[in-house]
Amino acid sequence: MKRAPKDTLESSRLLSRRTLVVGGVQLAISGGLLLRMRSMQLEQADQFRLLADENRINISLLPPARGLIFDRKGVLLAGNEQNYRIIMTREDAGDVEEVLERLAQLISLTPEDKAQALKEIGSRSAFVPVTIADRLSWEDIARVTINAPALPGITTEVGLSRYYPLGADLAHVVGYVGPVSDYDLSRIEDQDPLLQIPKFQIGKTGVENKLEQTLRGSAGTRHVEVNAYGRVMRELSRQEGTPGKDLQLTIDAGLQSYIEARLDGESAGAVVIDLERGDLRAVVSAPSFDPNLFVRGISVKNWTELNENIYRPLAAKAVQGSYPPGSTFKMITALAAIEDGVLDPEETIYCRGFTEVSGTRFHCWKPSGHGNVNLHDSLKYSCDCYYYEVGQRVGIEKISAMAKRFGLGVRHDLPLSAVAEGLAPDKAWKQEVRGEEWRIGDTVNASIGQGYVLASPLQLAIMAARLASGRNITPRLIHTIDGVEQPANSDQSLGVNENTLRQIRAAMDAVSNNQRGTAYAARIAQSEMRLAGKTGTSQVRRITAEERARGVTSNADLPWERRDHALFVCFAPVDAPRIAIAVVLEHGGGGSSAAAPIARDIALQALYDGTPPIEAYPSGVRDQVLEQQQRIEQRVPVGSVRFSDRA
């Protein structure tokens, strides 16, 4: 049927309108797309180029070389060694278990190692490398490399790992490093991205821990190209990090090693201080442990042996241990009384073997007593009753203040783990801590370094150094940081009357060099090298009246943990002091018989900077000393790695 011309015209008009609308919409969309494309290509080109690079390029951190640690003479104490390791990539390996079996025929790989490797491989993406073995020898790496065609997915790498060439000798001073733990992250304030690197090692104890940021250095960066699955295709660039700063300690590694050997078989602490600048020449805790065990991952067996040893090898006794100082404290009581004007050094006090205070008897170590003694004789004979009387005169407040002036009851600022504050108690301390009033009996006990008084070997060595010099000797452990010497602060006067100090020193000289002195048997035979000292024996158990009546049980008949501590403090040479020493033997018995000979041997080793002549020893002990020196010389000698040998 033929349409009317009117209808045809209307349809044509409607079609043209729709065409225009559709065309307009299409034009608008096309225009919008063109504008958007222009904006993306021109105005936002840099932004999208960056996004593309981020998808294509990965940036990873490169751990820096850790700073080295040397002794005062340049001997390496903590270094970095090449660490050869083997890694496996699962997607390239095919049959992982079969490859591991082949690998086990080339290197030492226990069933436990293989099980751990399989567990870790199964928990990672197929393209992520997993460490199978590390700390391998060059021979192991060579065997694996030669057999590479039979070991798909296996590659070798080399990095740096911490090592301690002197082993146990410096363990408590230098400390050791270990992998970052969740506990470490929770207590470290600086959020260095390096800490997020798997198995990245940080200092756990000692100098390694306290100067972690100085030793750590800053990270480098590595740019690698990856594909859409995140698999590394090639390395684009590398910028190495900044190594950590090198440290030089004031410690003399040779002297430190000697003392460790001399204390073999003892549970003890010993400290040697150089009087010129307060440098710590040796800080020894015995027994010790090999810090390399912790770096490599200590076994359960080794950990159990260290943890269950009654001599506590993990404890840094030289700075962490707090012991009753016993008679080594008597110089403090005497100084407090003389400075307060309540004691004349020439005044005599009668010792009848005990002093009765408020109905309680306080006994002298010599049951029959010492008779009339003045200051000089009281130290030479180590009379207790003299100090019972003097302590009551001066009072605990003055004794405590004098103790702190000489470095006791004070935490010294050193980069070492768990430096003890010790205790120089007073009335306020007992009320605050114990909730009790101070009693006169507490003062009597404190006057001879018993009761609540506690000190570490470090504090006792500082006390001896200040007695010898009259100066406020401040201990220093860090000599230089990257070659820049660190400040020493040991010139300030203590403000104690020099004449009084001379009398104390003369009495300490008599302790070691007068035939009736308590340490005469442990003297130095050469007059120009002689030392001045003070013995100490501190009780760790209460002796009852019943035991005294039947006879006090000797240390030899007691279990080790109930025996007295043996102590000795000294300085040498007497006429021009250069060093001060403190030795504490846990449950060692008597200070004169056990601690004093060790301190003498240490003093001679330090003064001669090596093995002293046999003539320096009393004639009666020379054969014993020769045997002892031969035993010590069998130890591995101190290494000769110097600053120029940076690893």
Q: Which element (helix H / strand E) includes 303?
A: helix 300-308
The answer as to whether 379 is a domain residue is yes
The answer as to whether 635 is a domain residue is no
- Per-residue confidence (pLDDT) for residue 647, from 0 to 100: 38
Domain containing 148 equals: 83-89+99-159
Nearest residue to 206 via CA among 297, 266, 288: 288
The answer on 489 and 372 residing in a single domain is yes
Structure tokens at 344: 């004349």
Structure tokens at 534: 């003070």
Name the residues annotated as catalytic: 327
The answer on 449 and 346 residing in a single domain is yes
The answer on 275 and 143 residing in a single domain is no
Nearest residue to 387 via CA among 455, 329, 325: 329
- Per-residue confidence (pLDDT) for residue 463, from 0 to 100: 98
Residue found by looking up tokens 């004007």 in the block: 341
Q: Low-confidence residues of the chain, pLDDT below 50?
A: 50-51, 229-230, 636, 638-647
Q: Give the HSE-up count for residue 180: Cα atoms under 13 Å, Cβ half-sphere.
A: 17
The answer as to whether 578 is a domain residue is yes
Core vs surface per residue 13-42: b (16+ CB within 10 A) or e: eeeeeeeeeeeeeeeeeeeeeeeeeeeeee
Of 108, 141, 159, which marks where a domain is finished?
Answer: 159
What DSSP assignment string belongs to 526-561?
SGGG--EEEEEEE-SSPPPHHHHHH-PPPGGGS-GG
Per-residue model confidence as pLDDT tens digits over 170-226: 999 999 998 887 788 777 777 787 777 666 789 999 999 999 999 999 888 777 676
The answer on 443 and 560 residing in a single domain is yes
The answer as to whether 311 is a domain residue is yes
Total structural domains in the chain? 2
The answer as to whether 638 is a domain residue is no
Q: What phi, psi does 499 have (nearest 5°)?
A: -65, -40
Contact between 568 and 595 (Cβ < 8 Å)? yes
The answer on 418 and 282 residing in a single domain is yes
- Per-residue confidence (pLDDT) for residue 237, from 0 to 100: 77
The answer on 290 and 433 residing in a single domain is yes
C-alpha to C-alpha distance for 149 and 154, rounded to whole angstroms: 9
- Per-residue confidence (pLDDT) for residue 231, from 0 to 100: 55
**Distances, alpha carbon 575 to alpha carbons 379, 504, 522, 579, 628, in Å:** 19, 14, 18, 12, 29
Give 458's contacts (C-beta < 8 A, 6+ positions apart).
269, 271, 283, 318, 319, 412, 414, 419, 420, 475, 582
C-alpha to C-alpha distance for 121 and 124, rounded to whole angstroms: 5
C-alpha to C-alpha distance for 119 and 124, rounded to whole angstroms: 9
Question: Which CATH number characterizes residue 148's domain?
Answer: 3.30.1390
The answer on 337 and 484 residing in a single domain is yes
The answer on 434 and 569 residing in a single domain is yes
Question: Which CATH number characterizes residue 368's domain?
Answer: 3.40.710.10
| Burial of residue 312 (number of CB atoms within 10 Å: 0-12, 13-18, 19+) | middle
* Paired strand residues for 159: 83
The answer as to whether 28 is a domain residue is no
Contact between 545 and 554 (Cβ < 8 Å)? no
The answer as to whether 194 is a domain residue is no
Give 440's contacts (C-beta < 8 A, 6+ positions apart).
357, 358, 392
The answer on 274 and 381 residing in a single domain is yes
Q: What is the pTM of this model?
A: 0.84
Show the CA angle centred on residue 457, arms to residues 410 and 588, nearest 5°. 140
The answer as to whether 361 is a domain residue is yes
Residue found by looking up tokens 């600053």 in the block: 643
Neighbours of 527 (CB within 10 A): 10
